[in-house]
Amino acid sequence: MTDLNINKNTKALNKQVQSFFIMSLKKASIIIILILLIDQISKVYVKTHFVLHDDISVFSWFKIAFVENDGMAWGTKLSDFFTFISDKSAKLILTLFRILAVTGIAFWLVDVTKKKKSKTLIFAIAIIFAGALGNIIDSVFYGVLFSESNLQVATFLPEEGGYAGVFHGKVVDMLHFPIWSGLLPESLPVIGGKYFSFFDPVFNVADVAISTGIGILILFNKKAFHENSKIEQSDLVTHNNLT
C-alpha cells in the first residue's frame, strides 16, 4: 500500500469516526422538526376532536385524556408561590421565562455542534429544545388559534377570536398511563391501607422529549461530555497499526 493510499484511507477513516461520534446541526434540526411535528399534530388533533376532560381507553394501562395545563409541571402556577401575582400576570411571566430558556438552549445546541461535542450530548440537547419549543408554541399561540374547549370541541381560527391573547395559551396534554391503582397493603408503615394510583400525571410528547433528554444527560453524563478528540485519535492509531 503506497503512502498516498494510506493517507487517503486515514482521512476517510477520520471522517467516518467523526460522523459516528459527532452529530451535525442539520441532523439535530431534523430530529427537532420530527418531534415538533409529532407533538403539534397530536395536540391539534386532540384539541379539535375532544371536549376538555374527555378520555378514550386505548389499553387498560393507557388512555388519551384531554387536559389543559395553564402553569408549570403538575399544573402548578407561579401565582401559587407568589400570591401577590395574578394568574394572568403569572402566566405571562412564565411564558416569557420559557422563551428565554429555550433561547438559551438553542445557543447551547449551536455551540456544542460547532465544537463537535459528542452525539449523545447534542441529541439530548436537541430533544430538550424540541420539547421546550413545542410547549412554548402552545403557550404563545394556542389562545389565539383556538376557541375554548370547555363543554365543546374547539375550533381552529374561530370567527369570534380565540379563548385568550398571545402569550396566554394553555398547554395541551393527552398522554395518561394509569398503570396501577388500589389499596396499599396494611403491612406498609404510614401509607398502609391507603388508596394509591400510579401514574396520575397527564403529559404530552414535548414533555416526553424534555424528560428523556434530561434523563440522558443524567444517566449517560460521562458519555455525553467526553472528549471526542481522544476517542478519534485512539481509533486512528488502532487503524494505522493494523495497516
Q: Is the dihedral of CA 42, 46, 47, 52 positive or negative?
A: negative
Residues with a known catalytic role:
173, 207
At 184 the pLDDT is 87
At 239 the pLDDT is 41
**Cα–Cα dist 169/164, whole Å:** 6
Q: Look up cell 493494523; give the residue.
A: 242
Torsion, CA 155, CA 159, CA 160, CA 164, rounded to 10: 50
**Cα–Cα dist 47/156, whole Å:** 9
Domain spans of the chain?
Answer: 22-242
At 232 the pLDDT is 45
State residue 170 phi and psi, 5-degree precision: -105, 145
Residues 6+ apart with CB under 8 A from 7: none
Residue 68: beta bridge partners?
Answer: 172
At 130 the pLDDT is 98
**Rg (the chain; Cα; Å):** 24
**Cα–Cα dist 106/87, whole Å:** 28
**Cα–Cα dist 43/49, whole Å:** 10
- 227: number of CA atoms within 13 Å, CB side? 4
For the chain, 243 residues long, give each residue's pLDDT as a single digit of tens: 565 555 555 555 455 545 544 678 999 999 999 999 999 999 999 999 999 999 999 999 999 999 998 766 555 566 566 666 777 887 888 889 999 999 999 999 999 999 999 999 999 999 999 999 999 999 999 999 999 999 999 999 999 999 999 999 999 999 999 999 888 888 888 888 888 888 899 999 999 999 999 999 999 999 888 865 444 444 444 444 444
At 20 the pLDDT is 47
Mark out the alpha helices in 50-86 (DSSP H runs). Answer: 78-81
